[in-house]
Chain A
Amino acid sequence: MKNNADLSINFCGVKFENPFCLSSSPVGYHAEMCARAFDAGWGGIVYKTLGLEKSFKVVMPSPRLNAYHVGDKRFVGLQNAEQITDRPIADNIKDLLWLKKNYPNKVLISSIMGYVDEDWTELAKMSEDAGADLLELNFSCPQMAHKHAGHRIGQDFHAVAAFTEVVKKASKLPVIAKMTPNITDMIPVALAAKEGGADAISAINTIRAITDIDIDNFTPLPNIHGNSSPTGYSGKAVKPIAMRFVSELCNSKQLNLPVSAMGGIETWVDALHFLLLGATNLQVTSGIMRYGYRIVEDMIEGLSDYMIERQIKSLDEIIGKAAQKIVDPSDFNTRYQVVSVIDENKCIGCGQCFISCQDGANQAIKFDAATRKVSVNEERCLGCLLCKHVCPVWDCISYKEVDTSYTKHAAIF
């Protein structure tokens, strides 16, 4: 029998039945799609970013996607040249009203993007009137055709603070400021948003990237009638970068705002990673674009089982559990040293560890040609665990702590 754990969260005073939300993107393009997402089990949706067509008429470039494939692994990352919604504001507002009426217990977040103060005010008011529970301010779309929008605003502390303030004045709703990762340090921008009155931060928006180039016609992809541009990159490939930014946001004492995290979430394990770093709310797009809304079933069931197994009653008990373990490299305890341990019974003799150690580490692995078995020369082992990471048998190579009274041989010549 399935016994679900309590996955509910409170984010900016709003209760979510679970932390899983659609992020603002094509997966929340209109009411019918959002309804299906709710039916599949998503706790909330961030609707596709609204804009005012009287200020700027959006036309989508075409084709607007390119996927990053690695060998036979398809869709490791996704590049998009998507703009904010190209649907009329009136239609979108009708959709929001319909969604709130039909799904009163689900959370509706309206993502908005203005170009001048008046736009932000109008969009915030319209969203609130349409029944949105929260607002998300899109300061981060990296490919807006409008020159004074998206990540260009998100890199400008003053603009972020000012527009947030405008929105806070116009609406009583809690406000999430969505950050761009196309910046060296996200904290100052997040602080600017806080200064403007933001109640939470969401991150990361997509990373500017070039995913491919057609080597026959020298055109990067997506090939938009002969041209391309470094546009928003997302999906599993960006998760490590997203985790870094989210960790920095969650660990900033000065910021001290709840975080809605996104970037490469596909499974409950990905979701858990972000929760452990300190995020309260989670958003997904690329995973849905690849696999559909149904992936939330496995996220709910997987996270639920994890909690039940460990007798975790509420997500609050685990949010941020990994945060304090993230320190500056200068704080590492380097008196702790390890060497690789190879389980000879599990070794299949491929020698990949040997090659990698030979050319990428310190020649600490010996390959016995006759037995096709490998062994570690602990005197030379740097404990880098490159061998463990290239081994095709997942649990063949482990490591152990060694006495650090001797100095490791860094080089022989």
Chain B
Amino acid sequence: MKKPIDTQNIILHKCMRETLTLEAAIKESNRCLLCHDAPCSAGCPAGTDPGKFIRQIKFYNYKGAARTIRSNNILGSVCAHICPVEKLCEKACSIKALEDPININGLQRFATEYGKIHKLEPLKRSKKNNGKIAIIGCGPAGMSCASQLAKMDYDVCIFEREPSAGGVIKWNIPEFRLPEDALNYDIENLANQGVEIKFNSAIDSKESLNKLKSEGFEAVFISSGLSEAFMLDMFKTYTNALDYITFLRQVKFGKDKLNLKDKNIAVIGGGSVAIDSAVSAKSCGANRVYLISLEHLAELPADEEEIKLAQLMKIIFKSGSQVTGVIQDGNIITGIKGIEIDWVQEGKFTPDNARQVSGTEFSLNVDLVVQAIGTKPGKEVGNFAEGIKTKGKGVIMVNDTFETNIPWIFAGGDVVNGGATVVQAVAEGKKAAESMDKYLKNRR
């Protein structure tokens, strides 16, 4: 049983869902069938093991539940808020044959918050006697890899170019989805393991990487994420066309400067970040917010829940539509032109497969365009890791064990998978850590 979304909180830039009370957690955990093979646990890429932590809640072992979550997933609090559970653990829930699935992220949030309130320190401090490892980028994959290595007593240092930790979680996930406290608590847990995070420390050149080697780091994990957003050519010269990375960061950390009150916004894209951008615009007082996507409503890549959220926030869906041009005043966009489309071939959601439907032309007055049509790795990856093999839009190539073609360099997270969920990044970070451990043991 999920609590309903509170749209009032979205406008106040607070978390859109309330946490489960102890009472609600007991009720919810008592609905769980405690399956023998816990398909929910099998459904979690990061191995957070909901089957176990729900059982622990049911048997009043709340601290045990917090320990289970934390030791399996260093981003236990963050994932409790933002994980697309309906596609993962809850999708697999056996009780769905009889009734609604167990509210797994609600219970996860309850347990992590219980741990926090009771000042639980579930993870022991690394003895740091097992070699030095450097991690580039303190996002989900980097944090996960660091935590796993610290558990194996490595001396881990994360190099982060930004002044704060969290990566995409910190800068691009809106407050209504993830309260700042949740990330901070995850970071605190990581710090308690003795992992050092060096801020404002970009590793972006050959020299900086070589320096790590000379400082005694025996292996490196690249988890620098995707920092460059794709832009449509037609918007490139205008000052009021932003990519979602820039936009969401400004909403979170510079609302006042953005001044969206009563403005009309067009968001281009149909995925989760497009919805986040549209809802964020609305939360800042925007007037009309359009979500323009090639995909029709039923085809949107965003989760059902996200679409419901957008509907609650009165986002105007221009689904199955294509932007055909801009109306401008100098280098300012004042409107966009569009047209509805059909697919030439069903099931292939790419611009070259779109057929415009004549007589459906429309134009919209807009004050800002936000593009959420994808991201790619920044150029720095090629700079510092010279000779590293990449593919496609520039993502790093790794083998099954997250090793790159350069022996001491491993990589994982978005910079490898091209952009996936936080829980996927956590999974990759964990697996890479195991692989790095094996690599270092073999070398000795």
Mask of A384-402 contacts with B, CB within 8 angstroms, 1/0: 0000000011000000000
Select which of B26, B35, B98 is within 8 A of A352 by beta carbon.
B35
Does the CB pair A350–B58 fall under 8 Å?
no
Q: Is B117's beta carbon under 8 Å from chain A?
A: no
Given contacts A71-B30, A71-B58, are A351 and B98 in contact (CB under 8 A)?
Answer: no
Chain B residues near A59: list those with CB within 8 A: none
Return the chain B residue nearest A369 by Cβ: B37
Chain A residues near B35: list those with CB within 8 A: 349-352
Tell me the complex Cα distance, A304–B284, Å: 62
Tell me the complex Cα distance, A71–B27, Å: 7
Given contacts A71-B30, A72-B26, are A354 and B36 in contact (CB under 8 A)?
Answer: yes
Give min CB distance, A17 to chain B, whole Å. Answer: 40
Tell me the complex Cα distance, A160–B394, Å: 93
Give min CB distance, B60 to chain A, whole Å. Answer: 9
Give min CB distance, B102 to chain A, whole Å. Answer: 12
- Which chain A residues numbered 248 to 290 have a C-beta less than 8 Å away from chain B? none
The number of inter-chain residue pairs (CB within 8 angstroms) is 42
Return the chain B residue nearest A372 by Cβ: B37
Chain B residues near A354: list those with CB within 8 A: 36
Q: Is B332's beta carbon under 8 Å from chain A?
A: no
Does the CB pair B98–A71 fall under 8 Å?
no
Chain B residues near A367: list those with CB within 8 A: 36-37
Chain B residues near A348: list those with CB within 8 A: 33, 94-95, 97-98
Tell me the complex Cα distance, A352–B35, Å: 6
Tell me the complex Cα distance, A392–B99, Å: 11
Tell me the complex Cα distance, A351–B37, Å: 7
Mask of B89-107 contacts with A, CB within 8 angstroms, 1/0: 0000011011000000000
Q: Is A144's beta carbon under 8 Å from chain B?
A: no
Given contacts A71-B58, A348-B97, A350-B94, are A392 and B33 in contact (CB under 8 A)?
Answer: yes
Does the CB pair A393–B27 fall under 8 Å?
no
Give min CB distance, A374 to chain B, whole Å. Answer: 9
Q: Is B11's beta carbon under 8 Å from chain A?
A: no
Tell me the complex Cα distance, A348–B39, Å: 12
Q: Is A319's beta carbon under 8 Å from chain B?
A: no
- Which chain A residues numbered 338 to 359 have a C-beta less than 8 Å away from chain B? 348-352, 354-355
Select which of A72, A350, A351, A372 is within 8 A of B27 by beta carbon.
A72
Return the chain B residue nearest A374 by Cβ: B36
Does the CB pair B36–A350 fall under 8 Å?
yes
Tell me the complex Cα distance, A355–B35, Å: 9
Q: Is B388's beta carbon under 8 Å from chain A?
A: no
Q: How many residues of A contact B (CB 8 A)?
A: 15
- Which chain B residues numbered 12 to 37 have a C-beta less than 8 Å away from chain A? 26-27, 30, 33-37
Chain A residues near B39: list those with CB within 8 A: 349, 372
Give min CB distance, B52 to chain A, whole Å. Answer: 14
The A contact surface, by secondary structure, is loop
Select which of B26, B30, B33 is within 8 A of A350 by beta carbon.
B33
Tell me the complex Cα distance, A72–B60, Å: 12
Does the CB pair B36–A71 fall under 8 Å?
no
Give min CB distance, A357 to chain B, whole Å. Answer: 10
Scoring B27, B39, B97 by chain A CB atoms within 10 A of each residue's CB, the highest score goes to B97
Give min CB distance, A342 to chain B, whole Å. Answer: 14
Select which of A71, A73, A352 is within 8 A of B33 by beta carbon.
A352
Tell me the complex Cα distance, A402–B98, Å: 31
Tell me the complex Cα distance, A349–B33, Å: 10
Tell me the complex Cα distance, A169–B58, Å: 58
Does the CB pair A352–B37 fall under 8 Å?
no
Does the CB pair B36–A393 fall under 8 Å?
no
Scoring B35, B36, B58, B95 by chain A CB atoms within 10 A of each residue's CB, the highest score goes to B36
Give min CB distance, B107 to chain A, whole Å. Answer: 13
Mask of B128-170 contacts with A, CB within 8 angstroms, 1/0: 0000000000000000000000000000000000000000000
Mask of B34-48 contacts with A, CB within 8 angstroms, 1/0: 111101000000000
Does the CB pair B34–A352 fall under 8 Å?
yes
Give min CB distance, A69 to chain B, whole Å. Answer: 9
Give min CB distance, A186 to chain B, whole Å. Answer: 36
Give min CB distance, B33 to chain A, whole Å. Answer: 4
Tell me the complex Cα distance, A157–B99, Å: 55
Give min CB distance, B11 to chain A, whole Å. Answer: 34
Select which of A72, A73, A355, A392 is within 8 A of B36 by beta carbon.
A355
Chain A residues near B98: list those with CB within 8 A: 348, 392-393
Tell me the complex Cα distance, A355–B33, Å: 12
Chain B residues near A369: list those with CB within 8 A: 37
Give min CB distance, B419 to chain A, whole Å. Answer: 32
Tell me the complex Cα distance, A392–B98, Å: 9
Return the chain A residue nearest B99 by Cβ: A392
Tell me the complex Cα distance, A369–B39, Å: 10
Mask of B336-354 contacts with A, CB within 8 angstroms, 1/0: 0000000000000000000
Chain A residues near B36: list those with CB within 8 A: 350-352, 354-355, 367
Return the chain B residue nearest A356 by Cβ: B36
Chain B residues near A393: list those with CB within 8 A: 98
Give min CB distance, B104 to chain A, whole Å. Answer: 15
Chain B residues near A71: list those with CB within 8 A: 26, 30, 58
Tell me the complex Cα distance, A179–B97, Å: 47
Tell me the complex Cα distance, A137–B34, Å: 49
Return the chain B residue nearest A351 by Cβ: B36
| Given contact pairs A71-B30, A352-B34, a sample of 19 additional A-B residue pairs in the complex whose CB atoms are under 8 Å apart | A71-B26, A73-B30, A348-B33, A348-B94, A348-B95, A348-B97, A349-B39, A349-B97, A350-B35, A351-B36, A352-B33, A352-B35, A352-B36, A369-B37, A372-B37, A372-B39, A372-B94, A392-B95, A392-B98
A-B contacts, 7 listed (Cβ < 8 Å)? A350-B34, A350-B95, A352-B35, A355-B36, A367-B36, A392-B33, A392-B98
**Leading 5 A-B pairs by shortest Cβ distance:** A351-B36, A348-B97, A72-B27, A350-B33, A72-B30
